[in-house]
Structure 1
């Protein structure tokens, strides 16, 4: 039975090993209703293992995984979840409309076919055989199958891989609509701009451990880097040796600088090159935070 204060999905001190390899090491993760949680990490960081535990596809060696307050393998829990994984195993001979009708039949109050078509962008595809679709079209069908049951919690594993920009933005709009309705979404993605666009919170994994967690702004704030770009004749190798400068590279006429503080570096740039122009300073993005925090974690492990 579902507990009153159950959250859509949770890992408590979850651990998982594959032989001598530690895939997850004491991971805590909580997904709340009406939010998108982006689970980030390089290949092998533990993202797929975490998702597998939450779906009941894997059993933890330590800790606990719950889905809608229940054991993930419970039928009631699975009926409240929608899943879009990287590998689908969908019969290629069935038509898209047949797949939708079949999947909708598993749920007590599914979305209408028209709603699924609109949310996933399946116009003109219902009569097509799944195996005859392009890779991007198949991903859109997989998304429709994941959302057709009105899931309370939705797992999206690299959902926009293989999609063009227009299809990707359609998926983003659909995710926002589902979240506005109260669904909880766990998103894994290699597209950090996707996490920045959609996520309310971010959890970063490195070698099976959480290295950062919080809002996009909070995680980004952990990296105090500033990126400076300008058109200048200054030598990049010389600038790279300045205090507070982490790196300096040249891209044609532009000088690209990563620094821990912008003000002193910009002042020195202007003093060194009065003809400097097209100056741009911006905060570290999520991609910068991901790379820096991963580097710090590897250094600590070493």
Structure 2
């Protein structure tokens, strides 16, 4: 059975001078997916969103949104967007601005419904230029969801929001996806991507480095975390010589040899945890509270991008 394609990138490239912000990007997004777009600064995330929204055109390749050109889908009201760039109108109230957005949308929701969904009902009469950063973000969210769009695009949506507002925001986004809408968001909060996204895309130098569930991305990083306590002093160089070690941190950031007789907490990342632990005991050490676990999404992201950097000139 063929799946409907909401967003399609086919060998898309976008250059700025000698820099390839997007480099041969190919991907498809489907209805009801919540998709996190991750990547270090300069990875091409913003350019990818600009291409998707028709704000820029690719140098090569094609971008299709809901079977048509991106700008046509946006004009038809089938795409809602919440971007970092661009300000909000001053000297109008929250309700007035949302009312304007609803009036302009070809498939608008009732104003009261939009305000309630964004948690703005109690501040509807407040002027936009008097809002806090988190409140302004909620207004941008309201503008992005003023109508019945099939695709919602969010760029760093929870910046400035407190924990309660962030939880409420993502509960609303999950409802949107459950209703069949596709939600694509770029974020630096990797814990949000881990908890919210059904699918994670990792960009690096404009190319798609990884694509899968958060669990698949973490497994694909090929490393595991090892943590333990040591009650006896040990030479840090011996720990760093353990096989398959990719990183090592000590509890106080100093040298293990500087804290003779004190308990030290050691945290390791290893590409082969079994071999590393075997060698650890081979040193004659007696680790306490030994734990071996998979990487979190943030650690997997760092490992993937670091490995890619190491393999490129």
Q: TM-score with structure 2 length normalisation?
A: 0.89
**Is the 8 Å Cα contact of residues 236 and 249 (structure 1) preserved in structure 2?**
no
CA separation of 1:20 and 1:245: change in aligned 2, threshold 3 A: closer
Q: Does residue 278 of the first structure (1) align with residue 289 of the second (2)?
A: yes
- Which residues in structure 2 correspond to 1:206-217 (within 5 Å)? 206-217=204-215
SS at match of 1:159: coil
| 1:88 to partner: Cα distance | 3.1
Q: Does residue 245 of the first structure (1) align with residue 245 of the second (2)?
A: yes
CA distance in 1, matches of 2:74, 2:191: 34
2:176 is matched with which residue? 178
1:125 is matched with which residue? 123
CA distance in 2, matches of 1:147, 1:19: 35
| 1:5 to partner: Cα distance | 6.8
SS at match of 1:162: coil
| 1:106 to partner: Cα distance | 2.2
Q: CA RMSD in A?
A: 1.9
Aligned equivalent of 1:101, options 99, 102, 105: 99
1:37 is matched with which residue? 35
CA separation of 1:235 and 1:163: change in aligned 2, threshold 3 A: farther
**Residues 164-200 of structure 1: per-residue CA shift (max 9 Å, x gap):** 1111111111110100011101110111111111111
- Please, which runs of 5 or more residues in structure 1 have no aligned partner? none
SS at match of 1:88: coil
CA separation of 1:39 and 1:76: change in aligned 2, threshold 3 A: closer
**Is the 8 Å Cα contact of residues 237 and 248 (structure 1) preserved in structure 2?**
no
**Is the 8 Å Cα contact of residues 67 and 77 (structure 1) preserved in structure 2?**
no
- Which residues in structure 2 correspond to 1:253-268 (within 5 Å)? 253-268=264-279
**Is the 8 Å Cα contact of residues 236 and 248 (structure 1) preserved in structure 2?**
no
Aligned equivalent of 2:156, options 149, 155, 158: 158
| 1:149 to partner: Cα distance | 0.7
SS at match of 1:74: helix
| 1:75 to partner: Cα distance | 5.6
- Please, which runs of 5 or more residues in structure 2 have no aligned partner? 253-263
CA separation of 1:248 and 1:76: change in aligned 2, threshold 3 A: closer
**Is the 8 Å Cα contact of residues 7 and 32 (structure 1) preserved in structure 2?**
yes
Question: Aligned pairs, how many?
Answer: 298
1:14 is matched with which residue? 12
Q: TM-score with structure 1 length normalisation?
A: 0.92
**Is the 8 Å Cα contact of residues 70 and 77 (structure 1) preserved in structure 2?**
no
CA distance in 2, matches of 1:188, 1:301: 24
CA separation of 1:16 and 1:127: change in aligned 2, threshold 3 A: same
